[in-house]
Structure 1
Amino acid sequence: MHKIYLSHNAIISSLGFDSETVVENIKNEISGISRIEDEDLFQKPFYGSIINKTILKHKFNALKTKEDHTVLEQLMILSLNKVIKASNITINTSVGLIISTTKGNIDVLEKNSDFPKSYTYLSRLGTVLKKHFSFKTEPIVVSNACVSGVLAISIAKRLIKESVHKHVFIVSGDLVSKFVLSGFNSFQALSDSECKPYSKDRTGINLGEAIASVLVTSDTNYLTEESVELIGDATCNDANHISGPSRSGEGLFRCVNSAMKEAAIKPQDIDYLSAHGTATIFNDDMEAIAFNRLGLQNVPLNSLKGYFGHTLGSSGLVETIVGMHSLKLNTLFYSKGFTSLGVSKPLHIIEKTKQQPLAIFLKTASGFGGANTALLLKSITYKNVKKRT
């Protein structure tokens, strides 16, 4: 059977326009979250993470595209372009594309938008990216709330395992928009300060925007220093509530348990847990309960939401890529914003960035509608890579 790898990658966020810069800032415990005053987005100041649009404009103009694109389309093109070029893969009928997002171009519904409302259809992103990069196959759009980025990796794995594609490119993204801010505000879920995942004094989420791209492949000719092998994955729905997670963590428990069974590993084999950690009252406690049921309470754990906020459909992919670099660097990153444990079960929160040997990490995500996902990823020896000109 094919082994599946995650390889070339690119993150665009408030912490930088490439993965290396983003990871270096996280390593130095620098956050991209700030107090934002923009009445076009929200009626009052809020804490969040916004990509620098001046830098975006400069970098995107350098591509010299002939068509007008929305901000999200520009970011996706810019991120995916970096990964496709770095991989040096020829786009043909063996290459697939998956796009993951929760809201897509939702900002075009705002009064000051220059784009038609039809651009809000998620299929628009598939049409744009297929045309720009001349993909020969039909793109798949994954929109399953905040697990979308992780779920896209699982789907890519299956497409390769079933020999539908040899390689799959994934691009994930969402923006901080008036629609999204008003929605989370209606849930009373927005924090009035920097978010504090798993902390006793947490008051809610910070919203952020980030775009991430990655190559999923079974071909060892296309690996990088930070490449990892996907050794197990699963998705489960707790069927509890449209926005509230199961209090027992049943869905998360089941999908992590399934992923561990596929990978044939035990809890003690996992070196690091990259959790969802939104800093809301119910999510964080649900995760703590599920992780204790799984025997993972002593595994070093962080939430990366304190660096970019909650980036919705891209959060799972962004955080997976950071985890890949964490394994490469043998470094556990501080769970930014953590103060003192405020959940009902014990967890081993990473309170300071530190180095230690790492081989396997678990990435989890949970989202509206009861969705839960888990990936188990393993570091590999970077000796099979063939240099290409």
Structure 2
Amino acid sequence: MIYISSHNIISSLGFSSEENLSKIRKGISGIQLSENKKISPEPVFVSLVSYDETEKRFSKISENSKKYTKYEKFLILSINDALKNSKVDIQSDETVFIFSTTKGNIDLLEKDNKNSFDTERLKLWKSSEIVADFFGKKNNIRTISNACISGTMAVITAQRLIEAGKYKNAVVTGADILSEFTLSGFQAFKAVSEGACKPFDIKRTGMTPGEGAATIILTSEKSLSDNSGIIIAGGANSNDANHISGPSRTGEELAFSIKKAISESNLSSDDIDFISGHGTATPYNDETESKALEPAGLQSVPLSGTKGYIGHTFGATGIIETVIAAEAIKNSEVYKTAGFEEIGVSGKINVQKKYKSISVNTALKTASGFGGCNAALVLKKENFSQNTVSFDKKHFEIIKKVKISNNQVTVNDTIDYKYTDSDKNQFSAFAKAVYKNYKIKYPKFYKMDNLSKLGFLGAEILLNNTNILSNYKSEEISVILSNESSSLDTDAKYQKTIDDRENYFPGPSVFVYTLANIMIGEICIKNKIKGENTVFISEYFDKDFIFDYADILLNKRKSKLCITGRVDYNYPKGNYIAELYLLESSK
């Protein structure tokens, strides 16, 4: 069983889980009108963590405040607070660190910040290493960047790695800061609320961007737990295979994740007592979430959304809302959904208008994000229906391998195509040549950014002449990729559109590609793949880890066919590589 050892939340409401929960119980929101022109040319409602309090608290644990970025300080403060109440040895080889974030140190791209830290700090894996090093952790460090499900997937990944016997403990931590980069992008999508957001309400007009951090420490050893008896019981994720920036209109893919997570937890929908909802308060997301919950049989289950209190904290939100789900079970309580007054979605759901005490033995956490990704996680009391988990040895076959680099394509280690034109140093020309050589017909290819083009081409060549997808249901196929530079190539291009306030033109068509997992979204849309999908960020391609993770999915029958490997378009050098494998279950 995977127990909770300790946790922390940092948000506009405070710097501990206790502070945050106390204010949520009282219905206090941290959302305020900001007139800070560094993050927005116009006043906007946001949820910000106190900078002065951050510096004050950080100075108590480090004499080198200037050595760390704001994002890194959030993570360090969160982990440090969680460790105060945990006996887990984080330096042990039996403990894994799992970070979740969407943009990390993205503010370092701003022209006023470019010389404040080394460019390498923009790399998500680098900031993860720096934070882990603060606590003396030198190895077993993983980073997930999967849009708004990053935090939820980090918890699910920890559960899977511990259950598979890879580790005994996990420190799962996530954060994002609110910068002009992120805020302007969602404003360009017209997705930001005119006031404090109103999840699931008929008058909702959009999300409230926020910032924050959270940590949850997990362990397989009950003696190291917090004695609450609450366990992480099951989790699943899926892809809509519909649109890179808009959710499924039916909700069936999120419903699939929910049903899988509940089933894995050895529960039924009738057993779920509480839902910690995603509830971004955007028109489409809330509608889709409601449509997913109803067919999953959860229409009467009390649902609370926290984004009306602390905004959308992106890479931290999944961990924050998992902690809130755990506290609901621990304290037998459900929370008022701030901003909600009248139902404004077509799916039948039970959104809470006030705080109340009820019996809670189980809880569901849901999440969705750009790239069509969805996730669901179940927590429960350990004595409420037992889990049975078993793992075999590796049981997959490598059906095919494709590598794209240095202007050539190899299939199963044999050169299959080589580009020799005069402009050979330009990736865009090479990519178009590969597209034409393999007779791919998909006009949307030309709108993709470089990273998505590279991943898309690799997947198309990997699947070429196999007809293997027809052997499986869409939800039985997964895409698990590794990446070094995340989406930094496109990030830099987007940053240029907002650097000059005299020529300020943030565009959604560029911003949507500022997430590494969008390349997976493009692969899934083209091939109607609706199974598991995750992007891990690491300096080097750890083939053993990626294969082990794919094997866990195959072992748990969450997948029968897996596209896996690495896809990276390096920033700032511009060199590229895609190394993809097609794995098929041999079980």
TM-score category of the 2 structures, normalised to the smaller one: over 0.9
Q: Which of 124, 132, 135 pairs up with 2:134? A: 132
Asked whether the 8 Å contact 2:129–2:138 carries over to 1, the reply is no
- Could you list the runs of 5+ residues in structure 1 that have no partner in the other structure? 382-389
Q: Do residues 34 (structure 1) and 36 (structure 2) align? A: no
Aligned to 2:95: 95
Distance 2:62 2:363 in 1: 39
Asked whether the 8 Å contact 2:300–2:349 carries over to 1, the reply is yes
CA displacement 1:283-302 (0-9 Å, x = unmatched): 01101111111111111111
Asked whether the 8 Å contact 2:156–2:234 carries over to 1, the reply is no
Q: Calculate the TM-score normalised by the size of structure 1.
A: 0.95
Distance 2:88 2:296 in 1: 40
More off after superposition, 161-170 vs 360-369? 161-170
Distance 1:48 1:354 in 2: 27
Distance verdict in 2 for CA 1:65–1:165, change over 3 Å: farther
Q: Which of 60, 63, 77 pairs up with 2:61? A: 63
Q: Which of 231, 234, 244 pairs up with 2:233? A: 231
Distance 1:375 1:130 in 2: 26
Aligned ranges 1:196-215 → 2 under 5 Å = 196-215=198-217
Aligned to 1:148: 150
Asked whether the 8 Å contact 2:169–2:219 carries over to 1, the reply is yes
Q: CA deviation at 1:227?
A: 5.3
The RMSD of aligned alpha carbons is 1.3
For 1:108, what is the secondary structure of its paired residue? helix
Aligned to 1:5: 3
Q: CA deviation at 1:106?
A: 0.2
CA displacement 1:66-101 (0-9 Å, x = unmatched): 461000101111111122232133321111100000
Aligned to 2:83: 84
For 1:86, what is the secondary structure of its paired residue? coil
Q: Calculate the TM-score normalised by the size of structure 2.
A: 0.63
Aligned ranges 1:1-389 → 2 under 5 Å = 3-66=1-64, 68-90=67-89, 91-113=91-113, 114-226=116-228, 228-380=230-382
Distance 1:116 1:260 in 2: 44
Q: CA deviation at 1:223?
A: 1.5
For 2:99, what is the secondary structure of its paired residue? strand
For 1:207, what is the secondary structure of its paired residue? coil
Asked whether the 8 Å contact 1:227–1:324 carries over to 2, the reply is no
Aligned to 2:538: none
More off after superposition, 347-356 vs 126-135? 126-135
More off after superposition, 16-25 vs 320-329? 320-329
For 1:9, what is the secondary structure of its paired residue? strand
Distance 1:92 1:231 in 2: 24
Distance verdict in 2 for CA 1:119–1:366, change over 3 Å: same
Matched residue count: 379
Q: CA deviation at 1:46?
A: 0.6
Q: Give 2:222's aligned amino acid.
A: T
Asked whether the 8 Å contact 2:152–2:375 carries over to 1, the reply is yes
Q: CA deviation at 1:48?
A: 0.9
Aligned to 2:577: none
Q: CA deviation at 1:12?
A: 0.9
For 1:372, what is the secondary structure of its paired residue? strand
Distance 2:349 2:211 in 1: 28
Distance 1:378 1:160 in 2: 17
Aligned to 1:387: none
CA displacement 1:204-239 (0-9 Å, x = unmatched): 000011100111111101111545211221111111
For 2:92, what is the secondary structure of its paired residue? coil
What percent of counterpart residues are identical? 39
Q: CA deviation at 1:25?
A: 0.4
For 2:284, what is the secondary structure of its paired residue? helix
Distance 2:42 2:304 in 1: 30
Q: CA deviation at 1:134?
A: 1.4
Q: Give 1:75's aligned amino acid.
A: F
Q: Give 1:10's aligned amino acid.
A: N
Q: Give 1:51's aligned amino acid.
A: V
Larger radius of gyration: 2
Asked whether the 8 Å contact 2:40–2:180 carries over to 1, the reply is yes
Distance 1:125 1:226 in 2: 32
CA displacement 1:96-144 (0-9 Å, x = unmatched): 1000000000011112222233311111122202321111423100000
Asked whether the 8 Å contact 2:276–2:324 carries over to 1, the reply is no
Distance 1:11 1:163 in 2: 28
Q: Give 2:32's aligned amino acid.
A: S
Asked whether the 8 Å contact 1:359–1:379 carries over to 2, the reply is yes
CA displacement 1:353-381 (0-9 Å, x = unmatched): 01111100000000110111111101347
Distance 2:280 2:183 in 1: 15
Distance 1:233 1:243 in 2: 23
For 1:211, what is the secondary structure of its paired residue? strand
Deviation >6 Å, runs of 4+: none
CA displacement 1:10-62 (0-9 Å, x = unmatched): 11111011100110000011001111110011000111110001011011011
- Could you list the runs of 5+ residues in structure 2 that have no partner in the other structure? 384-587
Distance 1:181 1:128 in 2: 26
Distance 2:63 2:86 in 1: 21
Distance 1:130 1:209 in 2: 20
